[in-house]
Structure 1
Amino acid sequence: NDARSEFIASVSHELRTPLTPVVALSHELRDRTAEFSQEELSEFAATIARESDEVAAIVNDLLVAARFETGQISVAAETLDVSEQIQHALATVADTEDIQVEAGGSVVADSGRLRQILRNLVTNAQHYGGRDIRVTTHQANGTMQITVADSGPGIPPALRERIFEAYSSAHEDQGMPASVGLGLTVSRSLATLMGGSLVYHHVDGWSRMELQLPADSEV
């Protein structure tokens, strides 16, 4: 349909954005390596790694979305240290020095899928939220809640559910690219598949993405 076609076109455009510096710098390194200092080479490598991670994240979301549509996706159930999973996810995200993390406890989930969700939530907060970002955990009644909060203005109430729809125009209404809707759709679907949930709230000046997953072996 038209919404899907527009979505595919938008995501294709978004893939070109991080690929452009990767291609340009790769050509520079291929043709003029001897002309650059070690510091410049390190900066080039960091840029290539950062933008490549961005491309990989979008592609990963696309692949998972396709598997959901065909019913060909499964998840593991393993006991994971939440703090370690958050740190692994942050390692693939740029500019995390100022993100406050207060996390502990364990969760039963699929390691790769949990990191995918966490990366999506943190990068969304960085790009479209406020300056301050916090990642916290709270465990109660057999459930682990991982919250990614930012001090941004938040999503209008009428759009708060629509942001989880991949083909919705709600993201454009908020100045967000189509991949945000894809990432949030995939993240909520993965959370549900792992026996949990993903919801959005705006409380006391903080936009909060709240991921809930089983905290014990009963998935």
Structure 2
Amino acid sequence: MTVVDSDAQPVTTTVASVDLSAQKPKFAPIKVSEASSKGKTAKESRMIPIPPHRLTPLKNEWMNIYTPLVEHMKLQIRMVLRTRSVELRNGPETTHETSLQKGADFVRAFAMGFAIEDAIALLRMDDLYLETFEVKDVKTLHGDNLSRAIGRIAGKDGKTKFAIENTSRTRIVVADSKIHILGTFQNIRMARRAISHLIMGSSPGKVYARLRNVSARLQERY
């Protein structure tokens, strides 16, 4: 290829050929023991505060929480009653660097009010998330108006909440004016939109119809 500079003198340059058939390199996942340059395990820890009303359920379900975290995730865990918290940290046997974060999410989900059977899915699946928002994030309500909005979310005997959970394939916990949702990103968005419509004053029948339509479209797409 010939390039002409400002002095109008021809300059000849050579363009190196690029091998487009070369594949991208593939690297094996790094282990926790390899995170440090000396080959030692990088010590990390998490502290999850436990609300007062969840301390008794935590004590009753302690072995169901302890067993999967220690035996399967290879984490170290302890309950600190003085600070009302649960502390987690990785140990020499921890093989995956995501184990600590998954364990913290599992304990945090239980502290929010989710059942053990639902929260343990955070340890088994990679595409599950937790989302929390308040009623005032959607609409500012006070007094009886706030109570009625929470009642619309729950429904009679919890039927509205169960219907949203079954249609969106999520799990929902209503704790006073806070709403916690456990599920995949797409399903959380679907459930939050339905709850927001209820807070704004939509009737449960209209919300059910919207949920069924969205769920049907998602099933056709995937």
Give the structure-1-normalised TM-score.
0.28
Bigger-Rg structure (1/2): 2
Using CA pairs under 8 Å that are at least 6 residues apart, name the structure with larger relative contact order, 1 or 2.
1
